[in-house]
Structure 1
């Protein structure tokens, strides 16, 4: 059940909504999170800075639901990144504010698919820290994903969350490697169908990284390498793929 929730770690900002403010170096929240993801280093500071930028934007217009969703995505990115070093204090600091924001977003638009998907992924992280929560949150997470798929079957973020769930969940609990691969491929296709969303989109890269891992797990070395090389073509500085995943795949017999 512990694996059930790690699917959330990979999940993040897939709908590229631009922040209005920047940090002292002129970087937007999207840019800050993207660079933090590329470096694959455990440092909460960039994620926190991105959240501050989002909060500043939202404070200028507290009724703007898209700005609140931007904030929720940044909060989720930090909640997810806390798993890298099992920083439960950091998780506890941002988990409830994230859920509160998602609740407000859903209350404002019950037909918006992505907030349901992010909520499902957030539950996943919670279960990663507290596996016993899986008895309650596991089914809730699954139901949220299915609801999101019905609301918007053309959402890359929804398909990414779905694929992660199928990839990390044990087969006896509903995991399915073939469905995970299909979900990742669908998500990549949907991301690429909207080129304007690919700038600073770490979720797009993450989807290809996990597609490669899914193919590797299935035993298809060539397709795993192809997925990793595709990710590096999109972002040559993607350190996780460049220095870890691709060399590992090439070493497989």
Structure 2
């Protein structure tokens, strides 16, 4: 009489394991595909993956929504760099709707607060004239993020970005930016968030650029070499930043 019950329990365990594996694979597949698109500079592929993720994201799953926000974040940064401002505003709005909803539920989520500050900074990137009144608002969210969690990855990235890109006359300091980038990098590594992680490699690249901008050339060289060693197919560093550094400084 116990055999059918045992068999049923075994089947349920197997099904649960299969479902868990399938869900885990699905989420990792997005991350791996986004990394591949980023490493090869294929932002059209990034957009396709992001659109698929957008359709499949579970509105009741915080992790999945945060993942989508990170894709919006990366794509928006690229759009602004490419001066595609109208499209950038579309993705800022999409991101903001999710962030505001989640902040209503978790008002002291340090990562969400950092993303909120980043979106305001993106708006400044689109219209520099807004910096006077939006700059302090952006920093309020970013500083709050770090106050809540001093080693929060996104908070330290955004604080680093702010210190790096802000003019010195308005409090910018590239040397201080380096310390925030280092904190973010260490947090990635300590949490095991390195493999095929586009944001880790992006932060490492920002750190390398900051080292070079502050004339710490050997540290910049070592940083780029670490990137090439871990991510041998990252074209931006391997084909552009690293050889340009060697050429400029005759290394």
- Quick one: distance in 1 between partners of 2:23 and 2:177? 32
- In structure 2, the residue matched to 1:85 is 82
Instruction: Say how many residue pairs are matched.
Output: 228
- TM-score (structure 2 length as normaliser): 0.84
1:212 is aligned to 2:213: no
Sort the Cα spacing of 1:44 and 1:87 in 2 relative to 1 into closer, same or farther, 3 A: farther
Q: Output one character per residue of 1:224-253: Cα deviation in whole Å (capped at 9) or x when no partner.
A: 101111111110111111111111211233
Contact 2:37 2:45 in 1 (8 A): no
- Quick one: distance in 1 between partners of 2:230 and 2:75? 24
- In structure 2, the residue matched to 1:6 is none
- Quick one: distance in 2 between partners of 1:252 and 1:19? 47
- Quick one: distance in 2 between partners of 1:56 and 1:112? 24
- Quick one: distance in 1 between partners of 2:153 and 2:223? 17
1:223 is aligned to 2:224: no
Offset, 1:67: 2.3
Q: Output one character per residue of 1:185-243: Cα deviation in whole Å (capped at 9) or x when no partner.
A: 11111111122x22221111111111111111111211110111111111011111111
Q: Output one character per residue of 1:122-181: Cα deviation in whole Å (capped at 9) or x when no partner.
A: 222211111112122211111111000011112122211111111111111111111111
Contact 1:19 1:57 in 2 (8 A): no
Q: How does 1:47-126 map to 2 (within 5 A)?
A: 47-58=47-58, 62-126=59-123
Contact 1:123 1:137 in 2 (8 A): yes
Sort the Cα spacing of 1:252 and 1:183 in 2 relative to 1 into closer, same or farther, 3 A: same
- In structure 2, the residue matched to 1:248 is 244
- In structure 1, the residue matched to 2:3 is none
- Quick one: distance in 2 between partners of 1:20 and 1:81? 28
Greater helix share, 1 or 2? Answer: 2
Give the gaps of 5 or more residues in structure 1: 1-17
Q: Secondary structure at the match of 1:52?
A: helix
1:233 is aligned to 2:234: no
1:187 is aligned to 2:187: no
Relative CO higher for 1 or 2, CA cutoff 8 Å, sep ≥ 6?
Answer: 1
1:169 is aligned to 2:170: no
Sort the Cα spacing of 1:119 and 1:44 in 2 relative to 1 into closer, same or farther, 3 A: farther
Q: Secondary structure at the match of 2:57?
A: helix
Farther-moved stretch of structure 1 (113-122 vs 81-90): 81-90
Q: Secondary structure at the match of 1:28?
A: helix
Contact 1:225 1:249 in 2 (8 A): yes
- Quick one: distance in 2 between partners of 1:188 and 1:251? 27
